[in-house]
């Protein structure tokens, strides 16, 4: 199991990447000395083990000790102080949005990092589920890992070589899903629209954001206020 953190990449007017989408991929593993000799290693050799039960304490530890430092290291200096949201799904092991230990670590060094949860039963609102995981899995399978160390190396390699322009398109898809969910009044009975992102990208017309009609926003607000 891995904790993966990505953000939307940034590009200049000529299409050159100025900020990577890759915050980090962090495996839930630990090292333990081998208790006995074997044909592959002697007793005492450090072996990689999977953390088979990930609870809230482990998630908090990974957020504070791995994700937050990675964000602080990589985030654009001119945006420090602006809110940064870490979206997590609603798994029971995940950290509460108002967790004191997290908030203390997330507010240091001038940063304003916050937790938020995606709406339940809405994988279309998780950019990882929307396309990133399947693409990474496809790349990882080409490595045919046989051990935990091989698997970790394969996933980390796949993560690093995943093209930023593909990640950028997934974030555009996320926005189109948001619009469709609004049209469906919060229902998940909709199809992910195809807007020919590849064509627009080749022509240099891929939008930074998807426009949403103001009348749709008003319609959704009226719907929410009436329920």
In-domain check, residue 38: no
| pLDDT tens-digit readout, 79-125 | 999 999 999 988 888 899 999 999 999 999 999 999 999 888 888 89
29 and 114 housed in the same domain: yes
Mean pLDDT of 171-186: 92
Give the model's pLDDT for residue 41.
Answer: 77
CATH number, position 80: 3.30.420
Tell me how far apart the alpha carbons of residues 136 and 158 are, in angstroms, rounded to a whole number: 6
Choice between 24 and 198, residue whose per-residue pLDDT is larger: 24
What pLDDT does residue 216 have?
95
Please tell me whether residues 189 and 212 are part of one structural domain: yes
Domain boundary among 124, 144, 162: 162
Do 19 and 75 lie in one domain? The reply is yes
Q: What range does the domain containing 116 cover?
A: 1-33+45-162
Domain boundary among 117, 140, 162: 162
Quote the mean pLDDT of the chain. Answer: 89
> Using 50, 70 and 90 to split pLDDT, how confident is the model at 218?
very high
Q: Distance between CA 122 and CA 186 in Å, rounded?
A: 10
Among 139, 162, 185, the domain boundary falls at 162
Of 136 and 21, the structure prediction assigns the larger pLDDT to 21
Burial of 183 (0-12, 13-18, 19+ CB in 10 A): middle
Count Cα neighbours of 174 within 13 Å in the Cβ-side half-sphere: 20
pLDDT at 198: 85
Instruction: Band the pLDDT of 187: cuts 50, 70, 90.
Output: confident
Q: So what's the pLDDT on residue 221? A: 94
Query: Same domain, yes or no, for 106 and 171?
Result: no
Percent of the chain with pLDDT over 90: 53
Q: Are residues 94 and 181 in the same domain?
A: no
- The number of distinct structural domains making up the chain is 2
pLDDT of 26 over the 90 cut: yes
Residues 177 and 109 in one domain: no
Region 169-190: mean pLDDT is 91
Residues 168 and 156 in one domain: no
**What are the Cα distances from residue 122, in Å, to 47, 86, 181, 190, 210?**
38, 16, 10, 12, 19
In terms of domains, do 183 and 105 share one? no
* Same structural domain, 174 and 208: yes
Region 153-175: mean pLDDT is 90
């Amino acid at each position: 199991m891995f904790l993966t953190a990505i953000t939307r990449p940034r590009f200049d007017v000529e299409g050159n990447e100025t900020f990577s989408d890759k915050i980090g991929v962090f495996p839930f593993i630990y090292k333990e000395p081998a208790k006995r000799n074997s044909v592959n290693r002697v007793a005492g050799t450090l072996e990689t083990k999977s953390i088979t039960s990930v609870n809230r304490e482990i998630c908090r530890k990974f957020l504070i000790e791995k994700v937050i430092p990675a964000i602080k290291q990589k985030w654009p200096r001119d945006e420090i102080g602006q809110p940064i949201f870490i979206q997590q799904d609603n798994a029971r092991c995940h950290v509460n949005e108002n967790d004191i230990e997290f908030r203390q670590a997330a507010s240091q060094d001038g940063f304003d990092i916050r937790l938020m949860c995606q709406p339940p039963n809405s994988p279309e609102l998780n950019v990882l589920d929307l396309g990133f995981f399947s693409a990474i899995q496809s790349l990882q399978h080409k490595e045919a890992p046989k051990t935990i160390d091989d698997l970790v190396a394969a996933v980390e390699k796949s993560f690093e070589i995943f093209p930023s322009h593909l990640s950028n398109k997934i974030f555009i898809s996320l926005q189109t899903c948001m619009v469709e969910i609004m049209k469906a009044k919060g229902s998940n009975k909709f199809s992910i629209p195809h807007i020919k992102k590849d064509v627009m990208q080749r022509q240099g017309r891929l939008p930074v954001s998807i426009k949403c009609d103001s009348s749709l926003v008003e319609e959704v607000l009226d719907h929410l206020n009436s329920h």
